[in-house]
Amino acid sequence: MPGSPSASVADPSPAGGERARLDGRLVGIGVSGGVLSGLLGVGGGVVMVPLLVLWAGYKQRSAHALSLGAIIPISLASVVIYGAAGKVRIGDAVALALGAVIGARIGATLLARLEERPLKLVFGLFLGAVSILMLVHG
Amino acid sequence: MSGALLIVALAAFGLVTGAAAGLLGVGGGIMMVPFLTLVAGLSQHAAEATSLLVVLPTAVVASVVLHRRGVGDLPLALRFGALGAVGGVLGALLALALPAHVLRILFAVFLGLVAIRLIRDALTAA
């Protein structure tokens, strides 16, 4: 973060060559995120963020914000399906959510401040850890 | 784990997960599902369902904060997310019908490769 400021700390202007309209790639990313979300019970961000950055060319920070927005309708649809199947444990969810909404404000505020490279590094390390854990637990 | 203690543990874990989710742009399910199965003792399906119900408010709160700060493009995100929701329904139906071991391993390998790429980019790119 304190590193070389020479690398033009471009702030995430939505105009900076990033897609501002719905196109084939965004649709593909949304659908693949959705399928994995429903299938594995995750929000889908863990697949949407990498695709938004490496395939659609978004900056790390914009990708994180877009992913969070896309997760709203995706998780809503998935939770309705699971809810209809009687799988949701409301009490546990409420307890978790009490902490999570406070944490989300903290995390999002931090996201708005962090620069591109540390953000990439943090996300990369996070994915690496997830990958190892998933392989270990199968 | 007993009732009251479990609630406190869940709220505390939710706080950490929510912060990580808001920063990393993910819902947090990837952290919550293992916690719910291993610590809270839920079945895999119950853990996934419960996690998704927490992911929803987490994403809403984080998105509102980011939208106010002008980060990202919330209307665009909601639009491609709505299409993703169709995929979410298919995925959830599929998950209820089959055990997803093979997919889980493929997915883990995919994440590992992406992780290597991002870390390399972060360390080398100028």
Task: State the ipTM, two decimals.
Answer: 0.84
pLDDT digits (tens, 9 = 90+) for A109-125: 999 999 999 999 999 99
Residues 17-36 of B with CB under 8 A from A: 17-30, 32-34, 36
Over residues B51-102, the pLDDT tens digits come to 889 999 999 999 999 999 999 999 999 999 999 998 878 877 777 776 657 6
Report how many Cβ contacts below 8 Å link chain A to chain B: 441
Residue A43 has pLDDT above 70, yes or no: no
SS (H, E, C) chain B: CCHHHHHHHHHHHHHHHHHHHHHHCCCCHHHHHHHHHHCCCCCHHHHHHHHHHHHHHHHHHHHHHHHHCCCCCHHHHHHHHHHHHHHHHHHHHHHHHCCCHHHHHHHHHHHHHHHHHHHHHHHHCC
Q: B68 at the A interface (CB within 8 A)?
A: no
End-to-end Cα distance, chain B: 49
Using a CB–CB cutoff of 8 Å, tell me whether B107 touches chain A.
yes
Determine whether the interchain pair A120/B27 forms a contact, defined as Cβ–Cβ distance below 8 Å.
Answer: no
Closest B-chain CA to A85: B96
Residues in chain A closer than 8 A to B106 (CB atoms):
none
Q: Residue A75 carries which side chain, given as an amino acid letter?
A: S
Beta-carbon separation of B63 and A111 below 8 A: no
Q: Which of residues 43-72 of A touch B (CB under 8 A)?
A: 43-50, 53-54, 61-72
A71-100 average pLDDT score: 88
Q: What is the pLDDT of residue B25?
A: 93
Q: Is B101 on the interface with A (CB under 8 A)?
A: yes
pLDDT of A41: 65
Higher-pLDDT residue of A100, A127: A100
Is B7 close to A95, i.e. CB distance below 8 A? yes
- Check B19 against A46: CB less than 8 A apart: no
Tell if the CB–CB gap between B78 and A90 is shorter than 8 Å.
no
Highest mean pLDDT (candidates A24-33, A57-66, B94-103, B106-115): A57-66
Residue A71: helix, strand or coil by DSSP? helix
pTM: 0.84
State how far residue A126 is from chain B, nearest Cα, in angstroms: 8
For residue B10, the distance in angstroms to the closest alpha carbon of chain A comes to: 5
